[in-house]
Structure 1
Amino acid sequence: MKNLILVFSTDIKESLRSKWFLFYTLVFGGIIALFFITGVTESRVQGFSGLSRVLLIFIEICIVIVPIFILINTVRTIAADRDSNVLEYLLSFPISLKEYFFGKILGKLFSTTLPILGALALALVWSIFKSVQIPWEVFFYFILLIISVNICFLGFSFFISSLVKTQEIALAIAFFLWLFFLAFLDILLIGALIKTTANAELIYSIALVNPLQVFRIGAIVLFDPQLSVIGPASYFILDEFGKNFLMVYCLVYPILLGCIFSFIGYKIFKKKDLV
Structure 2
Amino acid sequence: MKNLFLIAYLDLKESIRTKWFIVYSLVFGGMIALFFIAGVTQSQVMGFSGLSRLLLMYIQITIVILPIFILITTVRSISGDRDTHILEYMLSFPISLKQYYWGKILGRFTTVFLPVFLAMLFALFYGMIISTTIPWDIFFLYTALLFALTSAFLGIAFFISSFVKTSEVALGVSFFIWIFLLAFIDIALISLMMQNRFEEGFIITIALLNPMEIFRVAAISLFDPELTVMGPVAFYILDTFKQTTFVLFSVFYPILLGFIFAIFGYKIFAKKDLI
After TM superposition, is the score higher than 0.5?
Answer: yes
Deviations 1:64-113 (A, max 9, x none): 00000000010011011011111111111111101100110111100001
Inter-partner Cα distance in structure 1 for 2:183 and 2:127: 35
Inter-partner Cα distance in structure 2 for 1:262 and 1:15: 20
Inter-partner Cα distance in structure 2 for 1:255 and 1:185: 21
1:201 counterpart residue number = 201
Matches within 5 A, 1:1-275: 1-184=1-184, 186-275=186-275
1:266 Cα deviation from its structure 2 partner: 0.2
1:192 Cα deviation from its structure 2 partner: 1.4
Inter-partner Cα distance in structure 2 for 1:184 and 1:144: 26
Inter-partner Cα distance in structure 2 for 1:223 and 1:184: 26
Percent identity for Structure 1 against Structure 2? 55
Inter-partner Cα distance in structure 2 for 1:78 and 1:151: 17
Inter-partner Cα distance in structure 2 for 1:149 and 1:172: 21
My pick for the range that moved more, 238-247 or 191-200, is: 191-200
Q: 1:9 to 1:179 in 2, by over 3 A?
A: same
SS at structure 1 position matched to 2:22: helix
Q: 1:45 to 1:129 in 2, by over 3 A?
A: same
1:54 Cα deviation from its structure 2 partner: 0.4
Aligned partner letter, 2:206? I
1:186 Cα deviation from its structure 2 partner: 3.1
TM (normalized to structure 1)? 0.98
Aligned partner letter, 2:146? I
Q: How many residues align?
A: 275
SS at structure 2 position matched to 1:186: helix
Inter-partner Cα distance in structure 1 for 2:61 and 2:75: 21
Inter-partner Cα distance in structure 2 for 1:207 and 1:197: 15
Inter-partner Cα distance in structure 2 for 1:32 and 1:187: 31
1:19 Cα deviation from its structure 2 partner: 2.1
Inter-partner Cα distance in structure 1 for 2:187 and 2:171: 24
TM (normalized to structure 2)? 0.98
Inter-partner Cα distance in structure 1 for 2:137 and 2:242: 18
1:185 Cα deviation from its structure 2 partner: 5.9
My pick for the range that moved more, 224-233 or 148-157, is: 224-233
Aligned partner letter, 1:38? A
1:184 Cα deviation from its structure 2 partner: 4.6
Aligned partner letter, 1:35? F
The unaligned stretches of length 5 or more in structure 1 are: none
Deviations 1:24-56 (A, max 9, x none): 111111111111111111111111111100001
Q: 1:184 to 1:210 in 2, by over 3 A?
A: farther
The unaligned stretches of length 5 or more in structure 2 are: none
